[in-house]
Amino acid sequence: MTEQMQVTRSWFDEVIVPTYAPAAFIPVRGLASRLWDQQDREYIDLAGGIAVNALGHCHPALVKTLTEQGQRLWHVSNWMTNEPTLRLARKMVDATFADRAFFCNSGAEANEAAFKLARRYAKEKFGEQKSQIIAFLQGFHGRTFFTVSVGGQSHYSDGFGPRPGAIQHIPYNDIAALKELISDSTCAVVMEPLQGEGGVLPADKEFAKVVRELCDQHNALLIFDEVQTGMGRTGSLFAYMQLGVEPDILTTAKALGGGFPIAAMLTREAVAQVFQPGVHGTTFGGNPLACAVAETAFDLINDPAMLAGVKEREGWFRAELEKINAEYHCFSEVRGQGLLLGAVLTDAYAGKAKAFVDAGIEQGVLVLVAGPNVVRFAPALNLTAEEFAEGMCRFTLAVAQVVNA
Ligand SMILES: *Cc1c(COP(=O)(O)O)cnc(C)c1O
């Protein structure tokens, strides 16, 4: 490599569009659930790149596939198909309710495809008037204009001109509100089986069951956004598998490529048929490099021992967080499922989730927020007992730092 310039965090404020306010350190390498920054300071990673690095950093099997496929074929475009995309689709279809897959590059793109598909399906089958999309307050579906409009946090969609229409929001888990709103004009109900960004809030089983029934009654499609909950995160391949309710369309992304960008939309045969050639598309979607890596990640994650391990690790977190809380009394509850857990702050610490994250960085452990009142954990599914113990030891120090401040 040629001589490199000394990169510093201050460059961010000079050359990057200020969409984010990143941490003061710059990670330069990772291995399993550890990261090291430019000064070689070590961090235990309990954030997992926001539920993306499901197998930790630089998993040897993923590195091997990336290297091998990288020397074979990267991109051919969608006027040709390729072996990795077909293999991955076959595996995902075999493992789920779905008959067909559409690949793209991000969660927002998968949801964009899902919403367009639902609209087109309703129009072709039932007519123009069937266009209403029902979604939930605090829901998050991505940052394209359609997906941010379906998302239930209006401050993300305000200020960009007229929004796409016929989208309505109701409170999550509110059966009465859904009964009131849904009609034969509803084309789709969109929900996360467990709201991630919105505060790590699980759907009630009864609610999910009623959503499915009402969708059937009104010929509306049920779309599950499993961008965050998918790929083993909750202890089953997809969260719907524990809810006892199957969607008509499912989107997934974050962990699908184990850190390599790729997303998928899965659906049933009859729905898929409205996406005939030319109706929708993406240049990079389904490229052989991303699909090859995702296939390896899929094989490792869709494994009974790996999924059982997620439940076991949930137990580790719950026990340890309870212990921390017994001493520091800062959490009102720990909620979520599998390795998507949220420690909800008590009133005394309301709005201070970010302070716990910052203290974590100081102590050498990475955790996330989910809104202002929830500290979120989304670590690698293969987090080791040693990484967990060290991480929680540092997190305890972080909690003490905030509480004693
Ligand atoms: C992260 C997320 C998205 C957006 O995914 P991107 O890859 O950032 O576009 C959509 N839905 C849910 C539930 C998410 O957690």
Residue nearest to atom 15 of ligand 1 (CA): 228
Asked if residue 402 lies in contact with residue 375, where contact means CB atoms within 8 angstroms, the answer is no
Asked if residue 181 lies in contact with residue 134, where contact means CB atoms within 8 angstroms, the answer is yes
Gap between the Cα atoms of 188 and 195, Å rounded: 18
> What pLDDT shows up at residue 352?
98
* Rounded mean pLDDT for each run of 10 residues along the chain, 405 residues in total: 80 98 98 98 98 98 98 97 98 98 98 98 98 98 98 96 97 98 98 98 98 98 99 98 98 98 98 98 98 98 98 98 98 98 98 98 98 98 98 98 96
Spacing, Cα 367 to ligand 1 middle (Å): 18
Q: Which atom of ligand 1 is nearest to the CA of 147?
A: 10
Spacing, Cα 108 to ligand 1 middle (Å): 6
Spacing, Cα 106 to ligand 1 middle (Å): 7
Gap between the Cα atoms of 308 and 21, Å rounded: 36
3-state class of 267 per DSSP?
strand
> What pLDDT shows up at residue 291?
98
> What pLDDT shows up at residue 5?
83
Answer yes or no: is the C-beta of 169 below 6 A from any ligand 1 atom: no
State which of 19, 112, 115, 141 you would mutate to test the pocket of ligand 1, scoring each by most atoms of that ligand within 8 A of its C-beta: 141
Spacing, Cα 225 to ligand 1 middle (Å): 8
Answer yes or no: is the C-beta of 108 below 6 A from any ligand 1 atom: yes
Adjacent-strand bridge partners of 104: 263
User: DSSP states of 24-83 as a string?
Assistant: SS-EEEEEBTEEEETT--EEEESSHHHHT-TT-BT-HHHHHHHHHHHTT-----TTS--H
Answer yes or no: is the C-beta of 192 below 6 A from any ligand 1 atom: yes
> What pLDDT shows up at residue 3?
63
Spacing, Cα 145 to ligand 1 middle (Å): 13
Answer yes or no: is the C-beta of 376 below 6 A from any ligand 1 atom: no
Q: Which atom of ligand 1 is nearest to the CA of 195?
A: 13
